Amino acid sequence: MEVFRRTDKINGISRIYLLKRWLLDFAYPNRCPFCDKIISFDEYHCSGCGSFFAPPPQQEAPELLDGFTAFTSYDIVSRAFVSKIKNENNGYAISAAAYMIYKRLKEEGAVDYDYITYVPMRKRDIFKRGYNQTKILAKELSGLLGLKFVTLLKKNKDTLEQKKLSAKERKENVKGVFSAVSKGLDLTGRRILILDDVCTTGSTLSECAKALRSAGADYVAAAVFAKTQLK
Ligand SMILES: [Zn+2]
C-alpha cells in the first residue's frame, strides 16, 4: 500500500501519524467536520467543504517572535469553526485545523523546530471545559510534522479574560504570567513553535516567547489557526 512505504514522511506528513489515522479509521470512520460526510482517513474535509476560509490579515509578527503563521482571518466563518474546537472538543475539527496550520507552515517553509508547545490556559477554563483545546491542537500538529510535543509553559496566576480587554489592558493582563517549565530539557539554542487557536493582539504569544527566551531558546515562532484583523 502506498501509505506504508519505507519513508519517515509521506508528502511531508509523519508516516506514524498516518498509520495511526488509518487504524483509527476502522473504529471511527473519518468525517468531514463541516458536513459530517464520511471521508478517507488521510483527508481533513470533503471536496465540497473547507475552502471558504479567508486568508489571514497581512500583519507583522507579534513582538519577540521570530516567525508567525496564521491559517485564516478571525471572522464570522472561522469563529464558528473555532467554537467546534473550543467548546465542542470536536476531534474532526481539531484534526482539520491542525492540518490547515500544517499546510500553511509547509508553504512558508517554517517546519524546522526542536519542540512544539502551546499556550497554557487559565485554570478555571480548564476546569470548566475539562480540556485544553490548544494542547490537543499542538499535539496533533506535532504528530503531522513528526516533531516532539512538550509542555514548556505554565501560567503563574490566573488572568482576566483577554477578549474583554483593550489592547493596552491585554498587554498588562498577561505581563510576566508565563514561565518556562523545561522538565530537565535544556532549551539553550533550541527552536520552538508555540501553538494557539486564535491570536488577537499577540500579547499572550509575546509573553510566552519572552519566557522561553529567558530559558535559553534561540528561535521562537508561533502558529495559530486564526488571526484577528487589527484596525
Ligand atoms: Zn464536507
Does the pTM surpass 0.75? The reply is yes
What are residue 127's DSSP bridge partners? none
Ligand 1 mean position to 86 CA, how many Å? 20
Task: Report the pLDDT value the prediction gives residue 7, as an integer from 0 to 100.
Answer: 58
Ligand 1 mean position to 211 CA, how many Å? 40
Instruction: State the SS3 of the chain.
Output: CHHHCCCCEECCEEHHHHHHHHHHHHHCCCECCCCCCECCCCCCCCCCCCCCCCCCCCCCCCCCCCEEEEEEECCHHHHHHHHHHHCCCCHHHHHHHHHHHHHHHHHCCCCCCCEEEECCCCHHHHHHHCCCHHHHHHHHHHHHHCCEECCCEEECCCCCCHHHCCHHHHHHHHCCCEEECCCCCCCCCCEEEEEEEEECCCHHHHHHHHHHHHCCCCEEEEEEEEECCCC
pLDDT digits (tens, 9 = 90+) for 60-71: 889 999 999 999
Task: Report the pLDDT value the prediction gives residue 87, as an integer from 0 to 100.
Answer: 84
Residue 23 lies inside a defined structural domain of this protein: no
What is the CB neighbour count within 10 angstroms for residue 169?
Answer: 14
Ligand 1 mean position to 22 CA, how many Å? 19
| Per-residue pLDDT at 141 exceeds 90 | yes
Q: Residue 164: which residues within 8 A CB-CB, separation 6 or more?
A: none
Residue 166 lies inside a defined structural domain of this protein: yes
CATH number assigned to the domain comprising residue 176: 3.40.50.2020
Ligand 1 mean position to 75 CA, how many Å? 20
Count of the separate structural domains present in the chain: 1
Ligand 1 mean position to 176 CA, how many Å? 42
Ligand 1 mean position to 102 CA, how many Å? 19
The residue segments making up the domain with residue 181 are 54-227
Residue 49 lies inside a defined structural domain of this protein: no
Ligand 1 mean position to 51 CA, how many Å? 10
Residue 34 lies inside a defined structural domain of this protein: no
Residue 37 lies inside a defined structural domain of this protein: no
Ligand 1 mean position to 12 CA, how many Å? 24
Residue 12 lies inside a defined structural domain of this protein: no
- What is the spatial distance between Cα 158 and Cα 160, in angstroms, rounded to a whole number? 7
pLDDT digits (tens, 9 = 90+) for 8-66: 888 888 888 999 999 999 998 999 998 999 999 988 889 888 778 999 998 888 999 99
Ligand 1 mean position to 216 CA, how many Å? 44
Ligand 1 mean position to 92 CA, how many Å? 11
Residue 181 lies inside a defined structural domain of this protein: yes
Cell of 191: 527552536
Ligand 1 mean position to 133 CA, how many Å? 22
- What is the spatial distance between Cα 187 and Cα 220, in angstroms, rounded to a whole number? 11
Residue 27 lies inside a defined structural domain of this protein: no
